[in-house]
Each structure stands twice: as C-alpha cells, then as structure tokens.
C-alpha cells in the first residue's frame, strides 16, 4: 500500500488534522499559522485527496482511519496526541475515537468542526441532510466532477460573514495542492450516506469540543449540538455569523477555543 501524504509543522503536543470532503491539507494553513507555536501539527491528505493515493480496498470508515494511522504513527510513537476533524474528517475522527486504529491509543482530546454522527436525515434524527442531496452530488460527479466540487465549495461559504474570502481560500487549497480523485469523492459520499455512529458514541471517552457555524448550510448546527449532548464528555460552541468552515472565516476565535480546550489536563 502506498503512503499517504503527510505534513508536519510547529512545536508542542501532537495535533492530528483531518480535512473535509474534496479538500486537502492546504485548507489548514491559516489555522495552522495561529496554532503552530503551541502545537505540533500533523496534517494528512485523506485517501484519494490532494497528493494521497486511493485504494478502494480501504474505502470504509475504519479502512481509511487505519490507513491514516499507519501514515502518522512514526511521527507520534508512544506520545499522547489530540485529534481534530472537520466535516468528513470529523466523521472519520468520531469513528477513530470510538475504535482507535491499531498501533495508536485513543486521542487525549477530540476536537470536531461541523460534525455529526449521522449525515442523512432519519425518523429519529431530524438534524440530517436529505439523502437525495447526496444522490444528486454523486450523479454530478459522474457528469462533471470538477463543477460538482466547485458548487459544493460555494455551498460551504453561504451565510458566512467572510464568504468570498473563505471561498477563495478553499479554491486555492483545492487547485494549488491537488484535486481529489473522482473515485475517492464518490466513496466519501457513500460513506456519508451510510454511516451512523450514534451507537458508538458511548465508547468515546476523550474530552470533546464540538464547534459549529451558526449559518452552516451543509450541516445543521443542531446536528453538532445534538452530537455534543450525546457524547459522555463534550461541550458545544457555536461561531456566530460563520458557515461550514468557521476555522477559515473566524480563525482567531476558533484558534483560541482550540488552544484553551487542548491545553486542559
């Protein structure tokens, strides 16, 4: 199996960063600049994203987290580490914390941005997105995947106080570093469509910070709030006038929240 692309910067306790669907490690540059003097940041291109290879044999949630863990284990070793995930990366982080990959123990702290244990709506989960939206995205990938990803980036910034600036950063991350492979994008949508981690939340013992943007159009803030309420040791924070990527539109506020939370014993 080929190695995933990993970048490391900063000094201090290890903080692993998992980005969202369609993006890559460059999306963390702005937040990383605000945190690198206090944390050793380990950012990974998810399988099939950016400069990382894709292997359909590892398309499942735990297949991907195991692959990521193998890539970063040499950088962590026996030390404690914290885990931060955004959007699809947050779903991977939840599964990771509930069932840690071989070779690594559970994270000391878990930080989640735009997170949900179940992405699609259900009779007992009113906070999800209609499954038809994911089906349309999957169909769009087959017709014109670059246009579909671009439209999804637009959706991520709607309602944000700094929407245009955030959109430019997302597009720069996508096109400067490397686009995701269509097969990986399709697998990511299928993972979001089918995954339901609500039954595993009780196994997550790490203190957790769940952050949402007030005007997120991709994932209802209520989903992240409900997630925090269901976790054993979690607190919820909502960023006013932010959308799906509050760490880009409100970087100082999010960086301060994370730094305070991650330095707790």
- Cα 255 vs. chain centroid, distance in angstroms? 16
Q: What is the pLDDT of residues 73-92, one digit of tens each?
A: 999 988 899 999 999 999 99
In contact, 104 and 204? CB cutoff 8 Å = no
Is pLDDT at 112 greater than 90 in this prediction?
Answer: yes
| Percentage with pLDDT > 90 across the chain | 77
| H or E element, residue 192 | helix 182-194
Q: What residues have CB less than 8 Å from 241, skipping those under 6 apart?
A: 159, 160, 161, 214, 215, 249, 250
pLDDT given for residue 232 in this prediction: 92
**Phi, psi (deg, nearest 5) at residue 17:** -115, 125
Question: Where is pLDDT greater, at 147 or 216?
Answer: 216
In contact, 222 and 125? CB cutoff 8 Å = no
216 catalytic? Reply is: yes
Is pLDDT at 1 greater than 70 in this prediction?
Answer: no
C-alpha closest to that of 237 among 259, 217, 204, 218: 259
CA distance 169 to 75: 28
Strands (E), 154-246: 208-213, 234-239
Indicate the pLDDT class of residue 156, thresholds 50, 70 and 90: confident
pLDDT given for residue 103 in this prediction: 86
Domains, the chain: 6-262 (3.40.50.1820)
pLDDT given for residue 265 in this prediction: 58
Reported pTM: 0.95
Q: What is the pLDDT of residues 97-109, one digit of tens each?
A: 999 998 898 999 9
Is pLDDT at 147 greater than 90 in this prediction?
Answer: no
CA distance 140 to 226: 30
Q: Position of tokens 């949402």?
A: 212
Mean pLDDT within 202-217 = 96
Q: What is the pLDDT of residues 55-64, one digit of tens each?
A: 999 999 999 9
2 catalytic? Reply is: no
Q: What residues have CB less than 8 Å from 161, skipping those under 6 apart?
A: 241, 242, 249, 250
- Of 19, 109, 216, 250, the active-site residue reads 216
Is pLDDT at 133 greater than 60 in this prediction?
Answer: yes
- Of 19, 109, 177, 244, the active-site residue reads 244
Mean pLDDT within 176-195 = 93
- Of 19, 52, 66, 87, the active-site residue reads 87
87 catalytic? Reply is: yes
pLDDT given for residue 151 in this prediction: 83
C-alpha closest to that of 80 among 15, 36, 18: 15
Q: What is the pLDDT of residues 241-255, one digit of tens each?
A: 999 999 999 999 999
Indicate the pLDDT class of residue 67, thresholds 50, 70 and 90: very high
CA distance 116 to 236: 12
pLDDT given for residue 173 in this prediction: 80
């Amino acid at each position: 199996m080929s190695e995933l692309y990993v970048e490391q910067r900063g000094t201090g306790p290890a903080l692993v960063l998992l980005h969202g669907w369609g993006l890559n490690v460059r999306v963390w540059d702005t937040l990383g600049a605000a945190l690198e003097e206090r944390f050793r940041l380990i950012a990974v291109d998810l399988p099939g994203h950016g400069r990382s290879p894709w292997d359909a044999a590892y398309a499942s949630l735990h297949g991907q987290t195991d692959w990521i863990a193998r890539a970063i284990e040499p950088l962590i070793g026996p030390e404690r580490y914290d885990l931060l995930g955004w959007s699809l990366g947050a779903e991977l982080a939840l599964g990771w914390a509930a069932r840690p990959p071989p070779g690594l123990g559970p994270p000391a702290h878990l930080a989640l941005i735009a997170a949900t244990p179940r992405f699609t709506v259900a009779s007992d989960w009113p906070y999800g997105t209609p499954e038809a939206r994911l089906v349309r995205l999957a169909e769009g990938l087959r017709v014109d995947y670059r246009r579909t990803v671009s439209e999804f980036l637009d959706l991520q910034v709607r309602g944000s106080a700094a929407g245009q600036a955030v959109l430019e950063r997302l597009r720069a991350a996508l096109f400067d570093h490397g686009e995701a492979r269509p097969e990986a994008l399709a697998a990511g949508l299928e993972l979001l469509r089918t995954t339901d981690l609500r039954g595993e939340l009780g196994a997550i013992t790490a203190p957790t910070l769940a952050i949402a943007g007030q005007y997120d159009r991709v994932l209802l803030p209520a989903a992240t709030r409900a997630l925090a309420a269901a976790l054993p040791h979690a607190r919820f924070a909502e960023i006013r006038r932010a959308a799906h990527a509050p760490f880009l539109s409100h970087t100082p506020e999010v960086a301060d929240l994370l730094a305070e939370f991650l330095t707790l014993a």
